[in-house]
Copies of this chain bind each other. A is one copy, B any other.
Amino acid sequence: MKIIKDPVHGYVEADELALRLLDSGEVQRLRHITQLGFANLVYPGANHTRFEHSLGTMHLAGIMCSKLGLDAGETRVVTTAALLHDIGHGPFSHVTEPVMKEFAGRSHHQIEGIVGEGAIAGILEDEGLDPAEVSAIVSGDHRLASIIHGSLDVDRMDYLMRDAHYTGVPYGTVDAHRLIRCSVLAGSGIALHEGGINAAESLLIARTLMRPAVYFHHVSRIATSMFVHALREEVLNVPGADAQELVRMDDAACMERLKHSAHPITRDLACRVYTRDLYKRALYVGGDRVNAAALQQDLGPARERDLAIAIAETAGIPEEEVLVDIPPLPTDLSMEVQVRNSHTMVDIEEVSPLINTLNDTRRQQWRLGVYTTRGNRQAVEQAANEVLRVKRATKQDKLVVT
């Protein structure tokens, strides 16, 4: 049993199995993948990595298993899944997810290919664990998956606390121990004992407040859009560029590669992100001014690119100088959280009126962005208004929460 110091949880204990997995190249790689991508351009402290988050998630998963009364075998498979749940991430975590989906055909939750072969498969086999079961937990397809992958899961508890610690944003306070204490195993996953409702509301509020302040801060979105475009241009234009290979890199290797690309657009955009010489917002509007739902159809980098090209043409500027950023609509919180007491079990929305509003708030936080160079802002704003059929702003629309 080894002890690893962690600023969020104090100490994390790693047993022999965990130590063997930690030594694998796949897990060591997570040391070099930042948790929050380009959020460190806004919050200089946000340099924490998927490695420590994975340790923290394993730690909370172990406590959760113990509170739920799982046996040693179940606990091993759940904590292993917790440790490995993020090994599928590409460089800069969520930044490269759209490119991974588009060109490599998988999301970061799909880790069968990684745990099923190579060093990790060998370790799991040695220790009597089934790689398929581990990846089923990570992809959500397992009776115990909601420990790691639900509305009140330990993955979220860890990242909210951790992101608050490193950004300094004071909204991530989560009473993880109370939440874990109040979790119970129900037929369909983890349910919540009524004593944990306040703590659950607090977690859902933290998610809601962290969203505009950190996860969808416009500076981070602009850098992400620039980097995604750089990466796609590399894949599409540079002979021998292999998307599969690119998304298996770490942050540094991927950035170095793009900064020195043979393709000038890729090179320029990567260098700009690296030196924080970013595009600006030409348009930044919510669902009250564009049809957010309609824009979700066929959503993806290719669709965004088509719109960007149309805007660039309308504005009469080079197409690489326009980026369109259409985030997915937020999923509803807590669809599946059930609350129980000695009498009955109900959906959390029935006892917590906050939940529905938080969903409203999250939808209201959604923003479509069109980014360009400082000099092109006015021309692009006008063109984007036209191409995207943006409604005119009303009085309070002018209050953009940023």
Please list the residues of chain A having a beta carbon within 8 angstroms of any beta carbon in chain B.
3-8, 10-11, 23, 25, 28, 31-32, 34, 40, 42-45, 47-49, 51-52, 55, 165-171, 173-175, 177-178, 181, 194-195, 197-198, 201-202, 205, 209, 212-213, 251-253, 255-256, 274-277, 339, 341, 343-344, 346, 350-354, 356-358, 360-361, 364, 395-396, 398-402
Contacts and interface: CB of A to CB of B under 8 A. Distances in A.
Given A44-B51, A45-B52, A357-B354, A213 B198 contact: yes
A5 B395 contact: no
Q: How many copies does the complex hold?
A: 4
A321 to B, nearest CB: 20
Nearest to A253: B256
A235 B401 CA distance: 51
Given A3-B181, A25-B275, A194-B401, A360 B353 contact: yes
Contact of A396 (B25, B202, B209, B351): B351
A7 B47 contact: no
Nearest to A257: B256
Contacts of A361: 352-354
A11 to B, nearest CB: 6
Contacts of A255: 252
A378 B2 CA distance: 24
A170 B165 contact: no
A230 B167 CA distance: 34
Contacts of A252: 251-253, 255-256
B364 A353 contact: yes
Closest 6 CB pairs of A and B: A252-B252, A357-B357, A7-B168, A44-B52, A47-B47, A170-B173
Contact of A44 (B6, B173, B350, B360): B6
A163 to B, nearest CB: 11
A5 B209 contact: no
A5 B40 CA distance: 11
B343 A398 contact: yes
Nearest to A360: B353
A32 B350 CA distance: 42
B168 A5 contact: yes
Contact of A212 (B43, B198, B274): B198
A194 B401 CA distance: 6
Contact of A198 (B31, B251, B401): B401
Contacts of A402: 194-195
A339 to B, nearest CB: 6
A344 B52 contact: no
A23 B276 contact: yes
A275 B55 CA distance: 17
A40 B28 CA distance: 12
A28 B275 contact: yes
A235 B237 CA distance: 35
Which of A10, A55, A195, A360: most chain B Cβ within 10 A? Answer: A10
Contacts of A44: 4-6, 31, 49, 51-52, 55
Nearest to A343: B398
Contacts of A178: 3, 11
